[in-house]
Structure 1
Amino acid sequence: MLLLLFDIDGTLLQRASGEHAAALRAAAGRVHGVDLSRVDSVEYAGRTDRAIARDLLAAAGVEELDEAWVEETVREYERLCPPDLSATVAPGMVELLDALAARPDEFRLALVTGNLEPVARRKLGAAGIGHYFEPGQGGFGSDDEDRGRLPAIARGRASDPAWPRGRTVVIGDTPRDIHCARVDEVRVAAVATGSFGVEALAEADAVVDDARSLLPVLEDWR
């Protein structure tokens, strides 16, 4: 059986991060009493929420991240999240998830994402695909600021002892997704459905144009 660790933004969903980014920024500013509305130099793609918030605050002269920011971000995202994000599901992704979920003896689905877990679950629920990903599984930005540590966390939650590296695949859309897989020495399949093209993702073990092309790759690796 392969453990498949899916990224969210740019992979499972497309153009669904606007409200999330707004919630993160508003919550960090509110908790720390600073105006972050004009900070625009921070990179978001492929990073954890905690790392993004820390950089936003550093740009405003704040050195320490108050942990109250986590709950405030979750509350703010709950307020801002659209009730229906189904239109943001990547083309072919529902068909892929259906095909994988129909073969539970061959594939196990979980998440590896920089999103805080409550934000990730809320986002996927609004998109109508949250049921594919079992609670208590995966690795999230609320687990560790360093995305490179998240695949190992997900493997540890999948089984005891941890799920084997040789039977684990990260699926993402950015060079940072590839990097996090390399840190944990697991395979990675990249989909060019986010802001990075095929050439930028060439260091992955496999690169495909969209979700429809992923199933043959995963079947071959099985």
Structure 2
Amino acid sequence: MTARHRAATRLLTAATAATLTLGLAACGDDEPPTSGNGTNPPPVVETTEPGTATPTDDATTAGPTETPTSSGPTDEETDPAALPAFAPAGTPQSVEPSGDMLLPVDMRVGDHEGYDRVVLELTGDGVPGWQTEYVTEAVEDGRGETIDVDGDAILSVYVSGTRYPDEGEDHYAPQGPVEGSDVVEEVHYVGTFEGLTQLFIGVDGGEADYRVFTLADPARLVIDIADPEDG
């Protein structure tokens, strides 16, 4: 082999080694793609309006074997001009529910100028219905037992479109009477039976005018009992 051939061979060998070295380095720099489940949890959006109590302010949700607290402010985000008028005391009211079945998760009682307010908060994608009227005695559905309700009149409230909790699901549980603050003497949350959640409101001074309406985000049923002495 001539000197020229040996030099050419050495150059070819060096070029091949350099090419292999660069290829290996490039492979080492490529990071493998990160594995994952391909989904991201949706952002949590809380709609707490001015004056609206949050779960940490006035309510404690509870599992099936626990008893939640159930009193606190009820400054819901309602424009007085947009509220329905108070209906005469002797007028039963009834509205059908819509959407999915709802689960009761909290109840609040509060004193406002001219009325007392009872709020039942629910979870789910639906709108509750209601059946309300004054009754001479409070009788629990299912068991048929009479409930002793403090007050001069008893407003019976059936919240329709409600359901039982699933196992381990947080919900509002009956816990005895919840004391009112003025015209509302106390509220008895009885529970849910065959799609209807039953409440009894003890009213001071006899049958008073009242109004019922719903709020959204979260779903709430609101019962206002008029207090003419607090107007």
Structures share fold, TM-score greater than 0.5: no
State the structure with more CA Rg. 2
- Between Structure 1 and Structure 2, which shows a larger proportion of helix residues? 1
- Between Structure 1 and Structure 2, which shows a larger proportion of strand residues? 2
The normalised TM-score by structure 2 is 0.26
